[in-house]
Structure 1
Amino acid sequence: MNIPSITLNDGNRIPQFGLGVFLMPAEETKEHVAYALANGYRHIDTAAIYGNEREVGAAIAESGIARDEIFVTTKLWNSRQTDAPAALAESLEKLGLDHVDLYLIHWPTPDFDNYLQAWHDLEQLRSDGLTRSIGVSNFHQQHLRRVIENSEVVPAVNQIEVHPSLGQFDLVDANTELGIATEAWSPLGRRADLDDQVIAGIAHRLERTPAQVILRWHIQRGLIVFPKSSSPERLRENADIFDFELTADDMRAIDALDAGNRVGPDPETFNRR
């Protein structure tokens, strides 16, 4: 599988496509991650709150693939923003790893206002070699500016909700201007995105699935994407997006589907601990 990679602002490289394990039951995770790795996936995105880090780590350990060939991301949960070193130590123990490739602050949780302290701890964790890159998730422009103005390290990544009905064009542009790579979570959006007639028409013309068309749209925008799938057939299908291109007209037509429709919480108001 010939998956392109992107160079982050710290010089590390990240595969542009991978597997997300959000809402993947722990008892199923090991099998699905193992299958993905056996079929060419080399980027796995998990988080402490997902409850499946241990199973991700077991699949990696049993894969026979060299550690430096697999890019592993996990995330600092909201209740641990004042306790990041211990939180990462727990994640590493569950993953069975001595470092992760990317560690993210999961949400800004503005009501608690701990994300700047957490970021300073992540800077030290990177210096200590416990994570190769550090970044954030669900941060808006004002959160990013505050981090950058009060620290030495610019986040390598901002992982945000992006799909055709939530294009996030302004935030993606802001990330790019700051030298921050954008990762898209919930890349296929609601079922309505997959059923949209514009996407269906493009898929029919190209003899592709709607999911492949949407994932290709992300790739051509320069985003990093990791759809979740528990189906072996879908795992293979999702990754089969690197031998075709959408036209400029196709890209504009999908861009026009943006309607501000969120699948997940609004980072401005989400403060769950």
Structure 2
Amino acid sequence: MIRESGNLNPGQLKRRALSEMHIRFGSSWFHSEPGFQAVKKAFFEAPELFAGGEVIWKTRNKAVRKVTLPAEYGGITLAFKDYAGIKPLRYALRCSKTALEAANYRAFTALGIPMATLLFAGDDRRNFRLNRSFLATRFAEGYVDGREFLPGGSLRGTPEQKEFIDRNLVYVAGLHSIHCFHKAVRVFNFLWKPLGDGKIDIVWIDVASCRFLSVPGCVFRKYMVKDLAMFFRDLELPDEELRNALENYRKHNPNCALSGNGLFEAVRAEAARPR
């Protein structure tokens, strides 16, 4: 289950995170988490280390690089997400994707979700024009994503697969109970490593799209179903396994407003839709 957030609701946690990072729209800003001043120093003194990292994911506007810093800059390995070529005026008076993702990292960590460690985030802006945005997390050494649990994967049907599904759904259920729409509940965004005897450790990454929604439960229901359908569309579980997984989910989401069979039918129908 997710952790209580005291007197703050989850949306307030996110807004507080944005405030504490001192984001600005009119000019550039940079935030580093406490304890990582050497990493900040590396970013400004040796940008070639970040530009020359191993590319592990790339799209038209985004590159994710694995960067290992030398000892004088802390010697850690990090995942560096760099957005460039963005429509500059689209974010003139809006938070960049990396600002929102950094705030989600901080809010989710406060809620007890096992997130990758946030190191820094920032925007390169001039006169409200967003030129570039970036974010870095500690690289999760020894962890892999869940693609080997997909049909044809080498770990299909193993105890680790069940643990991977059940553990992640506990956190998804907790977020849904406070009306957080994840929007990217996929096996590629949940990292894991074996601990033995079918047990695993998990780490979440890529939470740029997550939104806390102030809507009634009857409205949030469709977002809940969309998240779950996205997860199970990839996994293609047999009906009995899907029912069991969703029953585990319902146990951890006290605000799920659907019966066991109702949730099963809704998720199965949504998962059958084309992407």
Query: What TM bracket, shorter-length normalisation?
Result: under 0.3
Q: Larger C-alpha radius of gyration, 1 or 2?
A: 2
Using structure 2 for the length normalisation, give the TM-score.
0.26
Point out the structure with the larger strand share: 2
TM, length-normalised to structure 1: 0.26
